[in-house]
Amino acid sequence: MKKRTITVYDTTLRDGAQSVGISFSLQDKLRIARELDRLKIDYIEGGWPGSNPKDDLFFSEIRKHNLEHSKIVAFGATRRHSVSCDDDELLAALVKSGTGIVSIVAKTWDYQVTRALNIGLEDNLQLIYSTVAYLKDRGLEVFIDAEHFFDGYKSNADYAMESLGAAVRAGVDMVVLCDTNGGSLVGDVGSITAAVTEQLKTKVGVHFHNDSGVATANSIIAVEAGAISVQGTVNGFGERCGNCDLTSLIPNLVLKLGYDCSAGSSLMHLTEASRLISEIANMAHNDRAPFVGDNAFAHKGGLHVSALSKDTKTYEHIDPELVGNHRKVLISELAGRSNVELKAREMGIQLPADVTLSKEVLKKIKCLEDKGYQFEAAEGSFELILRRSTKEYRPFFLLRGFRVITEKTEEGELVCEATIKVEVDGIVEHTAANGNGPVAALDNALRKALEKFYPGIREIQLTDYKVRVLNEKQGTGAAVRVLIDQKSSARHWGTVGVSENIIEASWQALVDGIEFMLLKETLERNEKEGDVGEQ
């Protein structure tokens, strides 16, 4: 018998952003939303409108992106006790966000109501009822995040259920049982979820934090007990110890338990998406993460390798390609070459039917990755490697040298100036520019030198700049990886550079970014000229 459909609700952009060390820019949030849509995540929680300008701007900007599957959700809370719904500015911001779906956090643990809100239990029930009714009257789909529900149920089951009942009477579309402190274990989760789903006809979802290390296990148990929706984050990002990790949850639900999830049809992109979002978050990707870690299907010597050579099922619980990952121990040249060829096709690059060429490209990429390069969030640099291998690409300029000077004046002002000399078609251009930092100065000087030859460079905007130290123990001599995001009116791309010198690493990424844009312009122009010629 076919099992029921489970919807997946992602809160990386809100709950995940509460991780220590993570701060998403607007462009970061938009890129992650597009990637989650590619994964066919059902709901994407974009943030809390009215709480900060960036979240307000996100809800405005995301409307310009034609998401194919995912629905955007705005997060908020029940109205404040001291004001009516009509006068609550945060509720007004929820309606104004234009998402059509809102998720409201509400207290369901009597202890939290009296201690945190400092109001009466009946007052809290009225907050829940009035808030849901207000939002439903405005035509919104409404979810209630029942905060601290499992703790509340164990403390006072009757009141916890009354809290849900208030939302149900007001017309809530789904109640979400939250383990906010992350202290519940699978036994309690299973029995409590089953009790709730048996009593309520309303849809039930769950939301688990990982403070006890079992958020994903709790989510699976809750689904088995009757929940039809699970909230979580990519890579388990989140406050304190994080949230349910969707990169573990989704393959377990689909591949192990046979549930129907929209994201199941995009599992082959899971590893790539996981690494991309780690890069965007500027967090080291977890090599040992289940399913998507670099070492998730890595095997080392001895009996394991011997058995794997006969049958991979002997030491692998799934085929790694199902989740877009690959086997390391067998040094699978065929799988690696297939990945390069698939990516080339996605980029519209026709690799010749030459096994040697794709193996050489793969070898080059592996060599670069050993030095610290990562291409998941730097497809511009990756595409340039492919184009160079097929001889479709020639450098648009040659560097004859540059100098960057940083000076601190007596007044305490920091002044950065870059001088650069480049050659284009035999013509040498020598110029200088200032910037609010050495990389900005170098970027400005390079553009200034090239824009007379390539006016389209004026459209390029640098939207993000990230630096990661690759080997901290080497101190100031450590290699760094620089990831740069750029955009023009037509596209958005990322490039990467690695060096023990941060200026050199930044230069590599800057040059790749400009070369990528110029190459794309050239290819598009040639294609148009070809179309005209055919007519």
DSSP three-state, residue 377: coil
**What residues contact residue 132 under an 8 Å CB cut-off, 6+ apart?**
104, 142, 144, 166, 167, 170, 171, 172
Compute, in degrees rounded to 10, the torsion defined by CA atoms 379, 383, 385, 388.
Answer: -160
Give residue 319's identity as a one-letter amino acid code. Answer: D
The predicted pLDDT at position 2 comes to 61
**Count of residues making up the chain:** 535
Q: What is the pLDDT of residue 392?
A: 77
Please report the domains of the chain, with CATH numbers, ordered by start residue.
7-280 (3.20.20.70), 352-389+461-535 (3.30.160.340), 397-453 (3.30.160)
Which ranges of 322-410 would DSSP assign to H, the alpha helix? 333-346, 355-370, 379-389
Q: Kindly state the DSSP code that residue 255 receives in the 8-state scheme.
A: I
The alpha carbon of 229 is separated from its chain's Cα centroid by a whole number of angstroms, namely 20
Q: What was the pLDDT predicted at 326?
A: 81
The pTM score is 0.71
pLDDT number for residue 308? 59
Could you tell me how many helices (H) and strands (E) the chain has, helices first?
17, 14
> Which pLDDT does position 354 carry in this prediction?
65
Q: Which CA distances in Å does 59 have to 96, 143, 273, 341?
A: 9, 18, 22, 37
Strand order in the sheet with 398-408: 398-408, 414-424, 427-435
Q: In a structure prediction context, what are the per-residue pLDDT tens digits for the chain, which is 535 residues long?
A: 568 899 999 999 999 999 999 999 999 999 999 999 999 999 999 999 999 999 999 999 999 999 999 999 999 999 999 899 999 999 999 999 999 999 999 999 999 999 999 999 999 999 999 999 999 999 999 999 999 999 999 999 999 999 999 999 999 999 999 999 999 999 999 999 999 999 999 999 999 999 999 999 999 999 999 999 999 999 999 999 999 999 999 999 999 999 999 999 999 999 999 999 999 999 988 989 999 998 888 765 445 555 656 667 777 899 999 999 987 643 233 335 655 665 677 777 777 766 666 778 878 888 888 888 888 778 889 889 888 888 877 889 999 999 999 988 878 788 899 999 999 999 999 999 998 889 999 999 999 999 999 998 988 888 888 998 887 666 667 899 999 999 887 678 999 999 999 999 999 999 999 999 999 888 888 877 765 455 4
Amino acid at 180: T
Tell me the C-alpha distance between 245 and 213, whole Å.
11
Distance from C-alpha of 410 to C-alpha of 405, rounded to nearest angstrom: 16
d(CA 531, CA 514): 26
